[in-house]
Structure 1
């Protein structure tokens, strides 16, 4: 069984223009980092012309399907019945994208099949992680 899940999604960038631009993005989950998900935007879709990756809690993404969540760099909230809004706040500015909620639900279902919610701690090897941290400190 694979330990990584990647799912392409269609994100719509909310901008000043009346029609939202569609951009590809990828949701990513790795069992070795069981509490987190990543959303990656390809270089052509970013202002800097480089791939941009945001890492945030799987729990935040799931809760944001039901109601507004997040107070920091990443915020998630439902938008109508079919879309979810993700806001990414950085010093350079804020990016707001809409994603079909069913794509996010499908992704979260796949992550839950890989690592059930509430059992993430079983995937973390604290002894190994502490040894790596101490090795890097010396």
Structure 2
């Protein structure tokens, strides 16, 4: 069984223009980093013209599907029944995207199948993380 789940989603980039632009994005979950989710945007969807990836907690995404969640750089909230809004705050500004809630729920279900909620700590390799930290310190 694979240790990584990737799911393509259509994200609607909300801008000041009257029409929201659809951009491809990818939700990614890796069992080796069990607390985190990543959302990647391709170069054509970013101001810098390079792929941009945001990392945030799986718990934040789970909570944000049903109620506003987050206070930092990433915030998630429902938008009606069919959409979930993700806000990405950076020094350059705020990017706001809408994603189908059904896609987010399907992704979360797949991630919980890989690593059940509440059991993430069992998938951490603290010895490896400590070795990496000490190696980087030298």
TM over 0.5, shorter chain: yes
- Mapping of 1:1-138 within 5 angstroms? 1-138=1-138
Q: Secondary structure at the match of 2:75?
A: strand
- C-alpha displacement at 1:14, in angstroms? 0.5
CA displacement 1:84-125 (0-9 Å, x = unmatched)? 000000000100000000000000000000000011001101
Write the distance in 2 (CA, Å) between the matches of 1:65 and 1:56: 14
- C-alpha displacement at 1:127, in angstroms? 1.5
- C-alpha displacement at 1:28, in angstroms? 0.3
CA displacement 1:37-95 (0-9 Å, x = unmatched)? 00000000111111100000000000001100000000000000100000000000100
TM-score in terms of structure 1 length: 0.98
Write the distance in 1 (CA, Å) between the matches of 2:132 and 2:14: 41
Greater shift after overlay, 122-131 or 67-76?
122-131
Write the distance in 2 (CA, Å) between the matches of 1:54 and 1:13: 15
How many matched pairs? 138
Write the distance in 1 (CA, Å) between the matches of 2:132 and 2:49: 33
CA displacement 1:15-49 (0-9 Å, x = unmatched)? 11111100000000000000000000000011111
